[in-house]
Amino acid sequence: MTPEELKNAWLNEESIAQIRGWDFSHIRGRYEEEDTLPWDYKAVIRQYLTGDMKLLDYDTGGGEFLLSLGHPYENTSATEGYPPNVRLCEEKLLPLGVNLRACDNASRIPFADASFDIVINRHGDFDPAEIRRLLKPGGYFITQQVGGENDRELVEAVLPGTPPPFPHLNLKEQKKAFEDAGFEILQAEEAFRPIVFYDVGAFVWFARIIEWEFPGFSVERCFPRLLELQETVERDGRFAGTVHRYLIAARKPKKTDEMKKLNVPIDISQLSSRFAVRRLSESDAGMILQICLENPQYYLYRKEGPSMEQALEDLTVTPPGTGPEDKYYVGFFENGTPVAVMDLISGYPSPDVAFIGFFMMTKVYQGRRIGSAIIRDTALYLKSAGKTAIRLAIDKGNPQSAHFWQKNGFTVIKEVDQNSHTLLVAERRL
């Protein structure tokens, strides 16, 4: 064929480059890819999938792979964001009873919390935090993805210097993202395998379909380089590139797993980078009372003033659902001199939250930003220990207390009435 005849043939391929679902049958036999991956994605899914599980296929394409699983339709849900594929899925999946919803935002999937036992995703977008929200405790996420180095030699052959569109898509970074989101990694593999084209026309159709990898590609723009590929085909019978794939199978911890992980003893020595910290006992009640007496402003907004009886009770009282093992009533000291006291409850009101029931400074240490430094150090340690938030209660109407906690990153989330006394529950996310 002459160059002009080749160009016309390639322009024809360019003009008909459309796709329904994820169907590459137009170039079947004219190219090969993904035939030698070291894992079988469908087999990996079947290791975990049983008929009674609620299944979601996010970014299902045309639903072809989803239907190949043969999962009961009443337990099957799917999303798709590309409008032509949405229409195709409406024709194909809805009559079967599959729960289909249009969605093009992987961080806002329109299903309720803990809706699914297993979520799968093949070559689509994903957000580990959103996947975690959707899964039931103990649920699975299984994905096979196109990596950031996919088809790079082919892109360079026709569009030299084009940067990779998704350089972060690799096993190392994405595995860490799931670990950071609290997932247990069950399987993680990565592979680089050949993709082979036996004619340039098939490549033209392919490059137009995968437009995010080949931005600005056209026969007119790339014609001289396409002719070079044609010479390679005539000489070698083919030209090749490399596909990049990775697989992650992950599990959301069961609630018992999360509680075990979070219900670890607090290392009180880590609550301050400056002061010595120790647990307080009945023998310290007099010291606690003295600190309370130095802060009369605090008690203007409470029904009762400080007393030895109250100091002793505070040393042992715990919120509902917690016990002595969760309570850390501690003192902060500088060369033996008391600086502050704190009543810290681990795992209240949920395993990932710590609750400050009481915090008060010795008068001589006030006004020097020392209290804020203690709260900062405490927050840093609790975050490293797996906590996601700190909560506390502020007496409504106490402007000094409200100001202190607000400047230290706490936001009021609700009001509660306690024995005809109104408290503002505040939270700092870690």
Task: Give me the pLDDT at residue 82, please.
Answer: 87
* 286 and 249 part of one domain: no
* 186 and 208 part of one domain: yes
> Which among 230, 253, 276 is the end of a domain?
253
* 299 and 403 part of one domain: yes
Give how far Cα 2 sits from Cα of 9, 56, 217, 230, Å.
11, 51, 22, 11
pLDDT tens digit string along 345-390? 998 888 888 999 999 999 999 999 999 999 999 999 999 988 889 9
What is the CATH classification number for the domain harbouring 401?
3.40.630.30
pLDDT tens digit string along 296-343? 989 888 878 899 999 999 999 998 888 899 999 999 999 999 999 999
Q: Could you give the 3-state DSSP secondary structure of residue 351?
A: coil
Which of 85, 134, 87 shows the shortest CA–CA distance to 107? 134
* 179 and 248 part of one domain: yes
Number of domains in the chain: 2
Beta-carbon contacts of 210 under 8 Å, excluding residues fewer than 6 positions away, are 151
* 266 and 320 part of one domain: yes
Could you tell me the residue range of the domain that residue 216 belongs to? Answer: 3-253
* 247 and 313 part of one domain: no
pLDDT tens digit string along 112-152? 999 999 999 998 889 999 999 999 989 999 999 999 999 99
pLDDT tens digit string along 155-209? 999 999 999 988 999 999 999 999 988 899 999 999 999 999 999 999 999 999 9
* 266 and 245 part of one domain: no
* 267 and 248 part of one domain: no
Task: Measure the CA dihedral 146/148/152/154, to 10°.
Answer: 30
Beta bridge mates, 395? 423
* 353 and 214 part of one domain: no
Query: Where does residue 164 rank: exposed (0-12), middle (13-18), buried (19+ CB within 10 A)?
Result: middle
Q: Are strands 327-334 and 276-279 parallel, antiparallel or unpaired?
A: antiparallel
> Which among 253, 273, 298 is the end of a domain?
253
In the chain, % of residues over pLDDT 90: 78
What is the CATH classification number for the domain harbouring 213?
3.40.50.150
* 59 and 84 part of one domain: yes
Task: Give me the pLDDT at residue 21, please.
Answer: 57
* 268 and 247 part of one domain: no
Task: Give me the pLDDT at residue 34, please.
Answer: 62
CB atoms within 10 A of CB 422: 14
Tokens at 152, concatenated: 């790079």
> Which among 253, 270, 285 is the end of a domain?
253
- C-alpha–C-alpha distance, residues 285 and 283, integer Å: 6
* 209 and 285 part of one domain: no
Task: Give me the pLDDT at residue 243, please.
Answer: 93
Q: Is the pTM above the cut of 0.85? A: no
Task: Give me the pLDDT at residue 416, please.
Answer: 85
Averaged confidence pLDDT in the chain: 92
